[in-house]
Amino acid sequence: MANEKKFVEQITAMDQDFAQWYTDIVKKADLIDYSSVKGCMIIRPYGYAIWENIQKILDTRFKETGVENVYMPMFIPESLLTKEKDHVEGFAPEVAWVTMGGNERLTERLCVRPTSETLFCEHYANIIKSYRDLPKVYNQWCSVVRWEKTTRPFLRSREFLWQEGHTMHRTAEEAEERTVQMLNLYADFFENDLSMPVIRGQKTDKEKFAGAEATYTVEALMHDGKALQGGTSHNFGCGFAKAFGIQYLDSDNTLKPCYQTSWGVSTRIIGGIIMTHGDDSGLVLPPSVAPIQVVIIPIQQQKEGVLDAANKVAQTLKDAGIRVKVDDGEQSPGWKFSEYEMKGVPLRIEIGPRDLAEGQCVTVRRDNREKTFVKLDNIAQAAKEQLELLRRALYEKALKNREDRTYTAENLDELVKIAGEKSGYIRAMWCGDLECELKLKEVADVSSRCMPFGAEPVGDKCVCCGKPAKKLVYWGKAY
C-alpha cells in the first residue's frame, strides 16, 4: 500500500487549503492542463468526457422541449455589439478584439463572442415575419471568450465551453414560461443527475444579465460554503427586439415586437461537481456524467481465471448499459485503488481468486468506501443499485452541507458577525435598494446570490437600513 499513500499525499487536504486542493484535483485527475495562452485551459480526455456526458443529457432534454441547434459566427462586429446599450456596457470591457485579418488591418474591429444575443437578434430579425414563424427556440454549443483578469480552471477562464439558448416568442407570457421552463430543466439536471441541490430564484437588478429584464438562477453551495451560480435563464422582454427591429405580423394584421429569452450553462459545472462532491482522496463523480462508472480491479491477476472473470463481469455490465473499465495494468491493486479514487470513479469492483472460489466479488463505493459482497450472477443489478445509492447519498450529503451552512440574520450586526465567522448562505430581508446591496458588499463582503422563489420571509425590515422589506435574499460569497 506504499504506492497508494504516496499518491494521495500529493493532494493538499481540503480543510487545509481549499483552493490548492481544487487546483491539485483538476491536475491530478487529468481533467486539464495549462497552455501557454494565459487564462485558457486545455480540457484533457477525462475532463472532456465529463463535458460530453453533460452535453448528451442536456441536449436530449432540450430537444424534447422543441429546441433546435444552430451555429452562429464567433465574431461580432463592434457596431452590432453596441446596438443594445446595457448589453454593450456589460460586456465591452471584457472582450477580445480581432483587429487584423492576415496582413491587413480590419476597417471595423470584431470581438470574439462573449455571448451571442446580438448575432441571434440580427438573424431573427431576418427570418421572423409572421406569427406563424413563432416561437423560435434555438440553441448553440460553442466556446466564448471573456477577458478575465484572474482565472481558475473551469470556474473562470478566458475561454470556456457552454450552450446558449436564444428564443423568440409571440407574447410576454410565453417568454416568461420558457424562461421558467429552462430554469426548472437546469434545476432538475443539477439535483437529479449531478446530485447538487440548488436554490432557484431571481437575481437582483445589480446581478442580472446585461440587457435582461429578469434573470433567474440556480445557485449551488460548494463544500467550503461559497456559492456557485450553476445556470441562468433570462427574460429579455422586448428590449433587444425593439433595438434590432424583430417584429412579426400578428393575426390581427398589426406589427408587434417579439419577446425574448436566453439561458445557458457552461464547463463551470465541472468545477461545481468537484467542489460539491470531492474529498481528500480526489474527485467524486455522479454516475450520470462519470466517464467510467465502474472500474474493475483484478486482485492477483496472474492467477488462473481472475482476468477472465474480470472481463466477463465487464461485459455483463457493459451489456447492462454501464460505462466500465477493467484495469489489468502492471501496477499494484493499491496503486489502482488510489488512481481511480482520484479520478472519482463512483464504483470499484475487486475480484480475486478467493472471491472467485465463492462465486462473488466486492463492490466499493467511492463516496463512503462501503464494501459489499455480491454474487457474480447478480452483478449488473447490484452495480446499478450501488450507483443509485451513491447518487442519492451524494445529494443528501451536499444538502446537509448546505443546511449546516445556511444562517439567518435579522440586523446588520448579525449579518456582519456571521459573514466574518462563517462561510455559507445568509438569509436576510432586503428593501430593494441598490445602496443597501452595495453596503453589504462593503461591510460584510457578501453579494446577493438570489431571491428564492416562494420563500417565507424571515422578518419585515431590511437587514441593512431597517426600512420595510418584502424580499428575502440569500447573501454569500461566490465563485
Which residues bind to a second copy, rule: CB under 8 A?
A: 33, 35-37, 40-45, 48-49, 51-52, 68-77, 80, 92-103, 109-110, 112, 119, 122-123, 126-127, 138, 142-143, 145, 147, 158-159, 161
**Measured from the CB atom, is 51 or 407 closer to a second copy?**
51
Q: How far is the CB of 47 from a second copy (least distance, A)?
A: 8
**Measured from the CB atom, is 244 or 430 closer to a second copy?**
244
**Measured from the CB atom, is 52 or 188 closer to a second copy?**
52
Q: How far is the CB of 461 from a second copy (least distance, A)?
A: 41
Cell numbers given for 412? 446588520
Considering only CA atoms, give the Rg of the chain: 25
Residue 446, Cα to own-chain centre: how many angstroms? 21
Cell numbers given for 135? 416561437
Neighbours of 75 (CB within 10 A): 14
Between CA 37 and CA 159 the distance in angstroms is 10
Between CA 361 and CA 358 the distance in angstroms is 8
**In a 3-state reduction of DSSP, which class is residue 182?**
helix
**Measured from the CB atom, is 31 or 313 closer to a second copy?**
31
Neighbours of 127 (CB within 10 A): 10
Q: How far is the CB of 147 from a second copy (least distance, A)?
A: 4
**Measured from the CB atom, is 267 or 423 closer to a second copy?**
267
**In a 3-state reduction of DSSP, which class is residue 464?**
coil
**Measured from the CB atom, is 166 or 200 closer to a second copy?**
166
Is residue 141 within 8 Å of residue 69, measured between CB atoms? yes
Cβ contacts of 407 within 8 Å, gap of 6 or more: 418, 422, 424, 425, 426, 427
How is 320-358 classified by DSSP, letter by letter?
TT--EEE---SS-HHHHHHHHHHTT-SEEEEE-HHHHHT
Element (H, E) at 308: helix 306-319
Q: Is 310 exposed, middle or buried (0-12, 13-18, 19+ CB in 10 A)?
A: buried
Q: How far is the CB of 141 from a second copy (least distance, A)?
A: 9
Q: How far is the CB of 276 from a second copy (least distance, A)?
A: 22
Is residue 57 within 8 Å of residue 289, measured between CB atoms? yes
Q: How far is the CB of 127 from a second copy (least distance, A)?
A: 7
**Measured from the CB atom, is 119 or 220 closer to a second copy?**
119
Task: Please state, in angstroms and as integers, the Cα–Cα distance from residue 266 to each residue in 32, 117, 317, following that order.
Answer: 15, 16, 31
**Measured from the CB atom, is 35 or 65 closer to a second copy?**
35
Q: What type of residue is 464?
A: C
How is 125-136 classified by DSSP, letter by letter?
HHH--BGGG--E
Q: How far is the CB of 369 from a second copy (least distance, A)?
A: 29
Between CA 182 and CA 259 the distance in angstroms is 16
**Measured from the CB atom, is 75 or 131 closer to a second copy?**
75
Q: How far is the CB of 445 from a second copy (least distance, A)?
A: 25
Q: How far is the CB of 106 from a second copy (least distance, A)?
A: 9
